[in-house]
Amino acid sequence: MTTNTEPAISTPRTEPVISLRGVHAELGSRPVLRGIDLTVRRGEVVALLGANGSGKSTTVRSVIGQVPAGTGEIELFGTPQRRFRDWARVGYVPQRTTAAGGVPATLTEVVASGRLSRTRFGMFRKADREAVRRALDLVGMADRAKDSVDALSGGQHQRVLIARALAAEPELLILDEPMAGVDLASQEVLARILRQQVDRGTTVLLVLHELGPLEPLIDRAVVLRDGCVMHDGPPPKAVGQHALPGHDHVHPHAPAGAEPIRTGLLS
């Protein structure tokens, strides 16, 4: 054994789960990503930060193949994303939409659709029903399982969307703005849910407006501006008003050319 060899124990830690190299993407004809490099290794918790329009959401959406591919390479678990089929390993929590479906649905029914990445067109067995129940339990919503999702608050709705992603028991969680429009008490609950997952070894990539109650969980922060990576390293320390415990960093949609939204690092 030479001194250059890495200890065996760190090998799983360094295995890249998500790998983006020189990724460009356009929405319409507007370039949104202009050469993103990003690696997320097994067990890491990585936050994507940046102002509105900096390309955070587009970055995660390109990872899961929801943005028309531009140039560059995207790999999931070492497989080129175009050929990646093992979607049960990925739990995706989209940016919460206010528009629910046009028909009522219970929490169980919504969370069960997260299990489809495992069952596909097969039967829904007892083990699947138990996984759905467990996922609801993990987010503390098991007692509401038979209620309609329409009756939930913003924070509770977000917990259901996380449960839906957890139903397939994924190794990687991708969350797009999980804290947007969620009150402080629910933010603490969400942080606790994510901590549980991280403690089980789940890899997490999340888009955030600011670190907030998640700060102690985050291993690495990647700050985007105008579709480029500006910072990739330890999470920026919150300063000034951003450090206040009650600050939930709410921004109106800024018009183009307005003062960029401060992330704490760049302000």
Partner 1 sequence: MDLLNYAFMQRALLAAVLVGITAPAVGIYLVQRRQALMGDGIGHVAMTGVGLGFLLSWSPVWMATLVSVLGAVLMELIRWYGKARGDIALAMLFYGGMAGGVMFINLAPTGSNANLTSYLFGSLSTVSESDVTAICLLAAFVVLVTVGLRRQLFAVSQDEEFARVTGLPVRFLNLLTAVTAAVTVTVAMRVVGLLLVSALMVVPVAAAQALSRSFAATFAIAVAIGVSVTIGGTVTSYYQDVPPGATIVLLTIAAFIALTVLATPLARRRARALAAAQPVPDPAECAVPAGRKPTGEAGV
Site string for partner 1, 28-57 (x = CB under 8 A): ------------------------x-----
Q: Burial of 55 by CB count in 10 Å (0-12 exposed, 13-18 middle, 19+ buried)?
A: buried
Closest distance of CB 7 from partner 1, Å: 35
Q: Please report whether residue 129 would count as binding partner 1 according to CB under 8 A.
A: no
Give the binding range for partner 1 (CB under 8 A) out of 4-12, 19-27, 73-81, 115-123: 115-123
Does 102 participate in binding partner 1 (rule CB under 8 A)? yes
Phi (first) and psi of residue 91, to 5 degrees: -105, 125
Q: 101 vs 233, which CB is nearer to partner 1?
A: 101
- Give the DSSP H or E segment for 93: strand 90-93
Asked whether 111 and 160 are in contact (CB, 8 A), the reply is: yes
Residues 6+ apart with CB under 8 A from 137: none
Site for partner 1 in 70-99 (CB under 8 A): 85, 87-88, 90, 92, 94-95
SS3 7: coil
User: Of the listed pieces 30-38, 116-124, 130-138, 195-203, which binds partner 1 according to CB under 8 A?
Assistant: 116-124
Residue 94's φ and ψ, nearest 5 degrees, are -70, 165
* Nearer residue to partner 1 within complex by CB, 35 or 65: 65
Taking CB under 8 A as the criterion, which residues in 224-243 touch partner 1? 241
Rounded distance between C-alpha atoms, residue 231 and residue 222, angstroms: 5
**CB 184, min distance to partner 1, A:** 6
Distance CA 186, CA 173 (A): 19
Between residue 171 and residue 210, which ones bind partner 1 under the rule CB under 8 A?
A: 177, 179-185, 188, 209
Instruction: Tell me if residue 172 falls in helix, strand or coil.
Output: strand
Residues 6+ apart with CB under 8 A from 53: 256
Does 26 sit near partner 1 (CB under 8 A)? Answer: no
* Cα separation, 125 vs 119, whole angstroms: 9
Nearer to partner 1 by Cβ, of 11 and 153: the residue is 153
Query: Which residues of this chain interact with partner 1, rule CB under 8 A?
Result: 52, 64-66, 85, 87-88, 90, 92, 94-95, 101-106, 109-110, 112-114, 116-117, 119-121, 124, 146-148, 151, 164, 168, 177, 179-185, 188, 209, 241, 244-248, 250-254, 261
